[in-house]
């Protein structure tokens, strides 16, 4: 569905399941935050440059995938140690794509609410969310409403396209 949302747009795709990102270690109340030896920092730099971020995740046990959750939890580290992280995230436009098999339109609402709070906290704006119903890979085509919503989201993004590599697709 993410490819349909991003059709004919120039974007950089980051597949979190194919990179090494360690769990957050909570040093918020310590004088320093030890740097971890993983790929998180490079991905954050890419994210900070994007104007529009598309997050796509399956619904796992009524929440986001563990890899996406782990990535977002690491933002606590960036808030503390990266002096321009919070400022660079402000005004970013966020697109959320979620797919699940157990009444995702209703049960995925908690994920949408979570992203609204994340966006509110960092000054970002959730501009569109697309929810699809599928139980197996490549079965999203059985959900015509989700495909329609994905195409509508694509039209919105094309109107926002500023040229260049303004989009990051995080999955």
d(CA 87, CA 155): 28
Rounded CA-CA distance 126/143 in Å is 23
* Contact between 79 and 86 (Cβ < 8 Å): yes
Q: What pTM did the predictor assign? A: 0.90
Pairing status of strand 125-133 against strand 93-100: parallel
CATH assignment of 38-162, given 3.90.1300.10, 3.40.50.1000, 3.40.50.360, 1.20.1560.10? 3.40.50.360
Instruction: Determine the distance from the C-alpha atom of residue 147 to the mean position of all C-alpha atoms in its chain, rounded to a whole number.
Output: 19
Domain range annotation of the chain: 38-162
Distance, first Cα to last Cα, the chain: 11
> Residue 59 in contact with residue 112, Cβ under 8 Å?
no
Q: Provide the residue-wise pLDDT of the chain in tens; the chain has 171 residues.
A: 899 999 999 888 999 999 999 999 888 888 888 899 999 999 999 999 999 999 999 999 999 999 999 999 999 999 999 999 999 999 899 999 999 999 999 999 999 999 999 999 999 999 999 999 998 888 888 899 999 999 999 999 988 865 555 666 665
Nearest residue to 97 (alpha-carbon basis) of 124, 127, 123, 71:
127
């Amino acid at each position: 569905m993410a490819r349909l949302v991003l059709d004919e747009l120039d974007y950089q795709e980051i597949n979190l399941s194919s990179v090494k990102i360690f769990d957050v270690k909570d040093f918020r109340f310590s004088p320093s935050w030890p740097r971890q030896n993983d790929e998180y920092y490079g991905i954050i730099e890419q994210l900070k440059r994007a104007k529009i971020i598309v997050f796509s995740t399956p619904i796992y046990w009524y929440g986001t995938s563990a890899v996406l959750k782990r990535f977002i939890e690491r933002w606590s580290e960036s808030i503390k140690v990266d002096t321009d992280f919070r400022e660079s995230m402000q005004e970013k436009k966020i697109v959320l794509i979620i797919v699940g098999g157990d009444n995702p339109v209703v049960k995925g609402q908690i994920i949408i609410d979570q992203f609204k709070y994340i966006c509110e906290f960092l000054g970002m704006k959730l501009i569109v969310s697309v929810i699809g119903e599928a139980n197996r890979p490549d079965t999203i085509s059985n959900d015509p409403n989700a495909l329609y919503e994905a195409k509508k989201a694509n039209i919105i993004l094309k109107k926002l396209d500023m040229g260049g590599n303004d989009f990051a697709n995080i999955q």
